[in-house]
Structure formats: C-alpha cells, structure tokens
A and B are shown apart, each in its own frame.
Chain A
Amino acid sequence: GQQVMQIPQYQHVQEGEDFTTYCNSSTTLSNIQWYKQRPGGHPVFLIQLVKSGEVKKQKRLTFQFGEAKKNSSLHITATQTTDVGTYFCADPTGGGNKLTFGTGTQLKVEL
C-alpha cells in the first residue's frame, strides 16, 4: 500500500526543547492515527484525527490534520525524558481499518 512519508527520521533534543514530526501523503486521507513506541516496547495508540484542519491536544502534545487532509503533524512542547521513543503516523490505506504505518520519527531527549 501507499506509504505515508514521515520526517525527520531522527531527532535529538535537549530536555525542555520542542519537537515536531510531520507526515505527508500524496493522496487525501480519510483519517490519520498517531502511535508512540518506547524503546523495546510496542506501539501505543495516541489519537485519531478525522476532520480537515482538526487540532487536538493531549497535555504537551498537539496533533494537527492539514486542511487538504494530506498531511499531519505532532508537536511536543518542552520535551521530557519520558517522551523518548519512536512516533508513527498511520493511515487506513486500502479500506476498512487496515493501517499503513509511516516510517517513524525516533526522538531522543538529552538532559
């Protein structure tokens, strides 16, 4: 299936700095989901965005869905060491709820 491109692949930040990861698709998406995978762990569902231009917040995390529904972003304000992990976006390419995952952005936070 069509893979959503995610950038950057890696990001190292100092604790307290902000972080953003972006997902881009060449086709219009019906919805987009975000997951977090801690090192050595399994992906955990964070959120789903459905509406054009939608913005949702979870504490220090802000999720956006583009107006054209072809891109999405996850922004973390004032990163903490607990934010370490890989963040994936995923889209339901192919219908139903079969997800195609982006390539992921690995976040490392240094003290």
Chain B
Amino acid sequence: DGGITQSPKYLFRKEGQNVTLSCEQNLNHDAMYWYRQDPGQGLRLIYYSQIVNDFQKGDIAEGYSVSREKKESFPLTVTSAQKNPTAFYLCASSLLSNYGYTFGSGTRLTVV
C-alpha cells in the first residue's frame, strides 16, 4: 500500500541534543513538507521541498534543518538551537500543484 511513514511515533530527548525525525513516502510525490503542531493549535510550516536536493524555509525554520537526497525521504533535524522543540511534528507529501496533502501519522517529540 502506498503511504507516508514517520518514525518514531514518540521520541524523548534531553535538552541540548540534536534529534532527527524520519519521513519516508512511496507515493511518488514530488513535494514534501514538515509542519509543527502545538497543543490545541494549527499547523505551522517548517520546511518544504519540491524537488530532490532542493528545499525552502517555511514560516518557522529557525532551529531546524532538513535534507532531500532522495525523492522518497525528507528527514527533519531538530537542533539544540530550537528553543521550544516539544511538539507534534507532521510530515506530508503531495503532487506539485493543486493537490491535497497526504500526512504521516506524526512524531510526538518531548524534550526534557
């Protein structure tokens, strides 16, 4: 079955440590996205990529980094520079224009 997989589902890290969240899709979608969701709030765009080896900052990119070495994969690194990293992170993919997103099941990151 085609889909988008995020791992792990839950992640705990100590403050000051970098952590990488995985996102893999087998939908042959060109575009991939990372969003952050805080409790009771909407989705805010962190980074997005429309083609391999290229990506753009979203609205809240500070403290995050990404790579797009393969069409299927778009990992997100939450660095120690991110001041409030505890959140629900959602990865999504889509065809390039005017199509709905397919979301992964998300990663809940808790930094203690």
Contact = CB atoms under 8 A, between A and B. Distances in A.
Interface of A: 1, 30-31, 33, 35, 41-45, 47-48, 50, 88, 92, 96-104, 106
Interface in B39-58: 40-45, 48, 50, 58
Interface of B: 31, 33, 35, 40-45, 48, 50, 58-59, 90, 92, 94-106
Contacts of B42: 88, 101-104
Contacts of B43: 43, 88, 101
A97 B90 contact: no
Nearest to B45: A98
7 contacts: A31-B98, A45-B101, A96-B96, A98-B48, A98-B58, A99-B101, A103-B42
Contacts of A100: 45
Nearest to A45: B100
Interchain residue pairs A-B with the least CB separation, the first 9: A45-B100, A42-B103, A101-B43, A103-B42, A101-B42, A42-B106, A43-B103, A104-B42, A97-B97
Contacts of B102: 45
B104 A97 contact: no
A96 to B, nearest CB: 6
A47 B98 CA distance: 11
